Structure 1
């Protein structure tokens, strides 16, 4: 989430400073309806550390249509799957999330102090996955082609749904559809006070983490799952590291949506006793409620009936529904039911 008073592009500071927060300029009338060819500032993508910014070259190409560039760097193990050696859904999900916030701030004049809430996220990558850089110091640039449409009528809550196609080397490697809502900090704080207890110590830190290779990661700190005491073979416990540079690079009063998404992806890959070498390639995610930092989160994986290689992951805190995802998987070395890459 952005911090008030942070340094951003000069035009953005000027635009936000003189803007009525409940109003948004229509297409074509904002001060920022132009291209941006340098790396976007961290405030625009709601990150505190500049190295976590994935996007550059944001431009408007038509009414409610935008092109952005993202970089997948070889040195970032979080975005490289140890199992397949390809860029995975988490990189795509984070790049798409950053695209939504940056486009909203730059081209729809949404103030920097607005809170963004993910409602849903549908992701699909082609069977090959996104290729990672071959050199240890290299990077792969991908293009994000986004189209936005209104998702609500409340002018105090800027809400959009947007479709994103991921293009690299002239081929479409994936697509995503995201729904989000924004609200003022004051409105968000009132919502949290009514519905949530005050955050305390992070739950689920005492269990041992699964081996990184079990969930397709290189480093132990990127593993978000442990075995719950007395749990069944299809149940996992979310483990959080409040010092993690990606998930907790800035203060937040609930478990981030990207952490829940990645935990569900890891749960599917850890569930590889059903299929060998599971690689999630498609996720249809619904967020139901805020996940509290001081309550344990359980994740349960179950097969979807009459759907080959499709699994359902459900995240709960006690009896309360937090999020769920329908996940399509592929097996390494096995013919996939997903779509191969196609020409853009």
Structure 2
């Protein structure tokens, strides 16, 4: 899967303010498949045309997992989670997909095109997604397949783009696709198998429990740690590895690979683009390996960017693959100090 440019919209890099989009409160948590109200990012949506929307989101100034970096840059996975919530919200709110349907992610892509626009300031960030909906496999009432393509803007500046493709299935169809009837034993097995994880600062996280990586059997192999009690990554019970958990594992390994041992406290690279393909269900009771297929700087770029290709496997089954780009962080230019008129 490759990133697709959204159809239509402005071409000058500016999204004009549109009336009617509210940021006063979040939408109901059930419409974005979240158990905790604190994890809801979407605040509102308005219809701009046929299958064309504007979705409002408020990003917190700080977050237990998706926290800003030392240069006050917003966590790019906030963008990914906003895309996920926007698709689920539009599916239920506008298209009437039943709340009881199960959503399965196929692929996700996002790119940060203007990191400076995503600097955390003195209040929560109002992010807007201009979104285009496309049906890919619509067979109501049992199956709804769709792709959402978005353009991200903050304060009128376009600063990112992304897409997500999912299928929503009723319970009977999901059981047929899933091919596993019970998860009780799977959950017990997963909870019993928590290896010693990599120190949180080495993978760009603040808390030890937020690290999802453990050393593997070789320098190019790592183990994904599945902590089902993690309040954010496993916000509610599930019978397989969520897309956002896989994405977090790929992101943390990317951080580990692109940062020098002497610069953990001051990150020199940041994630700017990701293409994630989910190829099979990730089982909770099976060990998950993340294997490095490619890790090299793109010398054609100035300054150099890192290109990473990572695979997630359970046994010999490839369950997901991820291509990502990491770019050097450009510290914010210091502002000129105000004139001290009293001293003149």
Check whether TM > 0.5. Answer: yes
RMSD over equivalenced CA pairs, Å: 2.5
Of residues 149, 157, 165 in structure 1, which corresponds to 2:134? 149
- Following superposition, the deviation at residue 130 of structure 1 comes to 5.5
**TM-score, with structure 1 as normaliser:** 0.79
- Following superposition, the deviation at residue 302 of structure 1 comes to 2.9
Shift >4 Å, 4+ stretches: 35-38, 194-198, 273-276, 304-308
2:108·2:276 contact (CA, 8 Å) conserved in 1?
yes
Of residues 271, 275, 289 in structure 1, which corresponds to 2:257? 271
- Correspondence for 1:291: 282
Rate the CA distance shift 1:222–1:169 in 2: closer, same or farther, 3 A.
same
1:315 & 1:177 partners in 2: Cα distance?
21
1:249 & 1:327 partners in 2: Cα distance?
26
Within 5 A, what are the aligned runs for 1:326-337?
326-332=323-329
SS in 2 for 1:97: helix
Rate the CA distance shift 1:247–1:57 in 2: closer, same or farther, 3 A.
same
Structure 1 segments unaligned to the other structure (5+ residues): 1-34, 335-344
Of residues 106, 122, 125 in structure 2, which corresponds to 1:119? 106
1:159 aligns with 2:148: no
2:126·2:154 contact (CA, 8 Å) conserved in 1?
yes
Rate the CA distance shift 1:195–1:304 in 2: closer, same or farther, 3 A.
farther
1:282 aligns with 2:283: no
1:58·1:67 contact (CA, 8 Å) conserved in 2?
yes
- Following superposition, the deviation at residue 153 of structure 1 comes to 4.8
Name which one, 1 or 2, has greater alpha-carbon Rg.
2
CA deviation profile, 1:92-114 (whole Å, cap 9, x unmatched): 11110000000010100111001
1:114·1:185 contact (CA, 8 Å) conserved in 2?
yes
SS in 2 for 1:236: strand
**TM-score, with structure 2 as normaliser:** 0.79
SS in 2 for 1:250: coil
Within 5 A, what are the aligned runs for 1:29-48?
37=22, 38-48=25-35
Rate the CA distance shift 1:273–1:51 in 2: closer, same or farther, 3 A.
closer
1:224·1:238 contact (CA, 8 Å) conserved in 2?
yes
1:206 & 1:79 partners in 2: Cα distance?
22
CA deviation profile, 1:261-309 (whole Å, cap 9, x unmatched): 1101111111126897332210011000111111111111232789552
Structure 2 segments unaligned to the other structure (5+ residues): 1-19, 300-305, 332-344
Of residues 212, 234, 242 in structure 1, which corresponds to 2:200? 212
SS in 1 for 2:255: helix
